[in-house]
Amino acid sequence: MNFAVLQFPASNCDQDAVHVLKNVLGHGASLVWHKDLSLGNVEGVVIPGGFSYGDHLRTGAIARLSPIMQAVQQFAANGGMVLGICNGFQILCEAGLLPGALIRNRSLQFRCEHVYLKAATTRSGFTRAIPAGQLLRVPIAHGEGCYFADESTIKTLQAKDQILFQYATAEGQLTDESNPNGSLLNIAGICNERRNVAGLMPHPERASEGLMGSTDGRLIFESWLQELAERSRPLAV
Amino acid sequence: MKAKITVSPKKAVLDPQGKTVQNALEHMGYKGILAVHVGKYLEIEVEGDREIVRQQIDEACRKLLTNPVIEDYQFTLE
């Protein structure tokens, strides 16, 4: 599979994402500059973490206006799979590709630590390879990761099974203590209704090699690869 | 002319900055403070037909300057 990893001014997890897709998982991945107009011939798009445009105005607010985002909108509209990580999640919300918004952490602190994630559903191309009940230990690093949406949006997310990940304790309980940023319903990641665009605040690309202290993040990429492999297989007639 | 835009967090949105400032003010001994909301203020210097400018600023507020999911805005033209 081939992936495009977007690069905005002040993206800082772009190289990590390319490294994991290429060197750890053995697929093709290349950086695409935000001023480019085309994603190239790719099966998936990663919008990586960082502080695009210095987080000016609001996180992700300026980045979503970059020329490449037109191509991402088109790619997603055609059913292409897009994953936004951290700042990438914020950009997808600002771009209207995902519902809701990410605001200042309730504690007002920048939180940089490992958390436990509970996959709220395995019925998605980003979570399907996660064994039932297995928690993922993955790091977060953000100051504005508090997921907010109005009541009706939250109800829709629940009804349509769009919540992908929730912050949990090591035992899998969803508590206030395990919620690092004040997100509603401990939400750490969601997908759109069509299930081809997803965003999450934690960094799976920083938890894909033993050297990094956890390989749980690989399950997210492996889910994605499984989904893409299934899609590219011709349907039996 | 100058567009003076005030952006404030929506009522339903958690405003931890406002709460922190409120606590600080109470620590300083100020009495009777019921709530603090921290927003932001933008000034845009602009020329053109007043009514067109008003429409453009309003549109820019909705499309870029604020996020309607979490923020409210109001502005004046001076």
Is B14 an 8 Å CB contact of chain A?
A: yes
Segment (H or E) for A44: strand A44-47
Q: How many domains does chain A have?
A: 1
What is the DSSP code string of B12-43?
TS--HHHHHHHHHHHHTT----------EEEE
Task: Specify the CATH number for the domain of residue A131.
Answer: 3.40.50.880
Q: How far is the C-alpha of B61 from the C-alpha of B42, rounded, in Å?
A: 10
Instruction: Note whether A140 and A180 are within 8 A (CB).
Output: yes
**Annotated catalytic residue within A43, A94, A144, A205:** A205
Task: Specify the CATH number for the domain of residue B68.
Answer: 3.30.1280.10
Reported as a pLDDT band with limits 50, 70 and 90, residue A232 is confident
Is B20 an 8 Å CB contact of chain A?
A: yes
Is B24 an 8 Å CB contact of chain A?
A: no
In angstroms, how far is the first alpha carbon of chain A from the final one? 24
Query: Is B69 within 8 Å of A149 when comparing Cβ atoms?
Result: yes
- Our separate counts of H helices and E strands in chain A read 5, 11
Q: How many domains does chain B have?
A: 1
Tell me if residue A203 is catalytic.
Answer: yes
Residue A237 within a domain: no
Tell me if residue A94 is catalytic.
Answer: no
pLDDT for the residue A186:
98
Interface test mutation site (partner B, options A148, A154, A181, max chain B beta carbons within 10 A)? A148
pLDDT for the residue A233:
78
Identify the domain containing residue A201 by its residue range.
2-232
Query: How does the average pLDDT of chain A come out, rounded?
Result: 97
In angstroms, how far is the first alpha carbon of chain B from the final one? 6
Identify the domain containing residue B50 by its residue range.
2-77
Query: Which of A22, A231, A223 shows the shortest CA–CA distance to A127?
Result: A223
Query: How does the average pLDDT of chain B come out, rounded?
Result: 96
Query: Is A94 within 8 Å of B67 when comparing Cβ atoms?
Result: yes
> How large is the average pLDDT for residues B21-50?
97
What digits encode the pLDDT tens for the residues A147-203? 999 999 999 999 999 999 999 999 999 999 999 999 999 999 999 999 999 999 999
Q: Is the per-residue pLDDT at A235 higher than 90?
A: no
**Annotated catalytic residue within A13, A93, A203, A227:** A203
